[in-house]
Amino acid sequence: MSYAPPTDLSCPSIATSKGGLNLSRIVAGMWRMKEWQLTPQQRVSFIEQCLAMGVSSFDHADIYGGYGVEAVFGEALALQPSLRARMQLVSKCGIKLVDPARPEHTIQHYDTSASHIIASAENSLRQLGTDHLDLLLIHRPDPLMDFDEIAGAFERLRAAGKVKHFGVSNFSRHQFESLNRRIPLATNQVEFSPLHVAPMFDETLDGLQDLGVAPMIWSPLAGGRLFSRDDADGSRVRAAIQQVADEVGRPFGSVVFAWIMQLPSRPLPLTGSSRIQAVAEAVEATQFSLSRSQWFAILRAARGHEVA
């Protein structure tokens, strides 16, 4: 079946928390932005094209690109400051990498102390050239994390107007709920794809649905492995997705994003590509739904067995 991309793509926004945070249904992931080798003006163009499709949320972390992605994104914003009012900036903190940009780090480790959270947030503001983050996440659960200390750091950042909303990433249901009892959390950003369905069955997504909190999803295309994984599991999943794509007349990537977004927890998947066509395919997934039989055909392939 031939395919022509829609010309009127527009990505809806969604409230991810009862606290009033609105993120776009598709979030632009900036993890690899330094690798894209774009000039500052090309970065502006990429951002503008995302915004034109309604992709208004941009996901960062202090460590991305060897502690460099936020700065190159900030360079683009400096060229077109008016863009800031049209977007939501998300960042993460809590990991200390051994990296030339941080010569004082002698071992890779987590740090969710109040002092590190606040210092990281303030540095992200400087790098991005903005006066506030719309959302700040703890990047990974830390065995030494003190929920009360983290909540206190969040409260201080909110009181200072430096961060509007808070969340976590890669937290279990229990870890999320423990911190959420101390301070309202807007999201839990977790890995999920047809090649990694564990959060569907370990209470992560169920717990968020119960609280009315939409998860953010990183690596929805399994880091590209959905297109290239050569073993029996990868081939089986890829064939099932392609069959559905042929049936609905949509791109392979759009079907994957639609499959994820059909979950009742209303996940917000991240893109990770510099190709605006890849972002457009993700946005297209907001325009259609799969039938239950199509949805379960992909799940059956993902798990390698029938549901019963």
Give the active site residues: 64
Helix (H) or strand (E) holding 60: none
Six-digit token string for 298: 């992909």
The span from the CA of 136 to the CA of 222, in Å, is 24
Helix residue ranges per DSSP H, the chain: 40-52, 64-67, 69-79, 114-128, 147-159, 173-180, 204-211, 225-228, 232-248, 252-261, 276-284, 292-303
The span from the CA of 121 to the CA of 290, in Å, is 40
The span from the CA of 133 to the CA of 46, in Å, is 20
Between the CA of residue 248 and those of 2, 3, 65, 239, 268, what are the distances in Å?
11, 10, 37, 14, 22
Longest alpha-carbon distance in the chain: 56
Question: Are 56 and 86 spatial neighbours (Cβ–Cβ below 8 Å)?
Answer: yes
Number of Cα atoms under 13 Å in the Cβ half of residue 40:
11
Question: Are 190 and 172 spatial neighbours (Cβ–Cβ below 8 Å)?
Answer: no
Question: Are 40 and 46 spatial neighbours (Cβ–Cβ below 8 Å)?
Answer: no
Helix-, strand-, coil-residue percentages of the chain, each rounded to 5: 45, 15, 35
Six-digit token string for 254: 């759009």
